[in-house]
Amino acid sequence: MNAREIRLAARPHGLPGLDAFHLVETAIPDPAPGQVLIRNLYMSLDPGMLMLIGAYPDIPIPPYEVGAPLYGDAVGEVMASGEPSLKEGDVVLHRHGWREYALADAAQVRQVDPDAYPSLSTYLGFGLVAYAGLTAVAGLRPGETVFVSSAAGATGSMAGQIARLLGAGRVVGSAGTPEKVARLTGTLGFDAAFDHHDGPIADRLREAAPDGVDVYFDTVGGEQLRAAIDVMNAHGRIALCGALARQSAGGSPDAGPGDPMRLIGKRLTLRGFTMNDHLDLASEFGRRLRQWLADGSLVYEETVVDGLENAPQALLDLVRGTYTGKVVVRLTR
């Protein structure tokens, strides 16, 4: 019996095409002592994967290597274990996505409760990065106005809803199509939203946030970051979480926030962060998330793509803005 995995065929210049990916059949290995063999059930697609494909400078984790399988968050079932603390049938979260069967060091996987959420795939769009950005990074206080860019996306839709649940006074979002904008103020409960293609972003943001912005949860950078700085109130905080503008531009460096005098004038704080710095918040957040999902106060949106062979196209579509909410790939055949 064979498994399949996707490898990086070549390092693309600019935005990758399907020819950057190579689907390969491999043998299913046996776990050595200390290892587990995992049958992956779901894997995450994340826009940041484009940075790893393109090997952008300055990224926080190692880029994908040409000829090697890609990686990313996945949830799967232990099939065989060389480590007494994990047994066959345990469900684990780990970083060896982009393959149907993964061999992992037991120390690098985390066992999860299979019954905590309606679907195991929820572990992949868990929203810890949104929660950490709003709390530990930006220090959101009740009553403040929060702006979220790419707000119909996996992280943005969680950030906006969590901001509201944490007591934000006003939650404003941007997205790239009229349908997404409608979804923000509809299902997702944002107070106001706009399409970032509709004229000067700073003007649209000022209309949506007439009292200014206190916290900006930034997954985009670029023009939206500079517009947010225009509209920020004194002592505002910006949680820098992603670089979709750069990813959509095929990796060309982003001009960034601009003149530091603007940051001094408003006494703003910009802070780059990744989820890995805030794993200490995972259990606190997990408790709150389960409660919010149970009482219906948070809407969790997910698109499930079937089959590893469809993952490359889905990733390209994701970066192009095709989806709303979290996108996962179901790997069981």
Q: Which residues bind a second copy (CB under 8 A)?
A: 51, 56, 58-60, 218, 221, 225, 235, 240-243, 246, 253-274, 277
CB of 219 to a second copy, least distance (A): 10
CB of 259 to a second copy, least distance (A): 5
CB of 3 to a second copy, least distance (A): 32
CB of 29 to a second copy, least distance (A): 33
Q: Which residue type does 59 have? A: I
- Give CA–CA dist 173/201, Å, rounded: 12
- Residue 181 or 244: the one with the smaller Cβ distance to a second copy is 244
CB of 258 to a second copy, least distance (A): 5
Which of 34, 7, 37, 4 is CA-nearest to residue 22?
7
- What the block records as the tokens of 158 is 């969680």
Which CA distances in Å does 169 have to 137, 181, 184, 188, 292?
Answer: 18, 20, 16, 15, 19
- Residue 60 or 167: the one with the smaller Cβ distance to a second copy is 60
User: Do the beta carbons of residue 72 and residue 95 sit within 8 Å?
Assistant: yes
CB of 240 to a second copy, least distance (A): 5
- Residue 195 or 230: the one with the smaller Cβ distance to a second copy is 230
- Compute the half-sphere exposure of residue 316: CA atoms within 13 Å on the CB side of its CA: 11
Q: Other CB atoms closer than 10 Å to residue 184's CB: what's the count?
A: 26
CB of 101 to a second copy, least distance (A): 31
Which of 43, 49, 52 is CA-nearest to residue 97?
43
Which of 98, 102, 90 is CA-nearest to residue 20?
98
- Residue 273 or 292: the one with the smaller Cβ distance to a second copy is 273
Which of 172, 175, 168 is CA-nearest to residue 190?
172
- Residue 137 or 305: the one with the smaller Cβ distance to a second copy is 137
CB of 210 to a second copy, least distance (A): 20
- What the block records as the tokens of 273 is 């962060």
- What the block records as the tokens of 194 is 């706009």
- Residue 16 or 133: the one with the smaller Cβ distance to a second copy is 133
Q: Which helix (H) or strand (E) holds 247?
A: helix 244-248
- Residue 28 or 281: the one with the smaller Cβ distance to a second copy is 281
- Compute the half-sphere exposure of residue 57: CA atoms within 13 Å on the CB side of its CA: 3
CB of 302 to a second copy, least distance (A): 25
- Residue 200 or 265: the one with the smaller Cβ distance to a second copy is 265
Distance linking the first and last C-alpha atoms of the chain: 13
* Burial (Cβ within 10 Å: 0-12, 13-18, ≥19) of residue 252: exposed
- Give CA–CA dist 159/58, Å, rounded: 25
Whose tokens are 């889905």? That residue is: 314
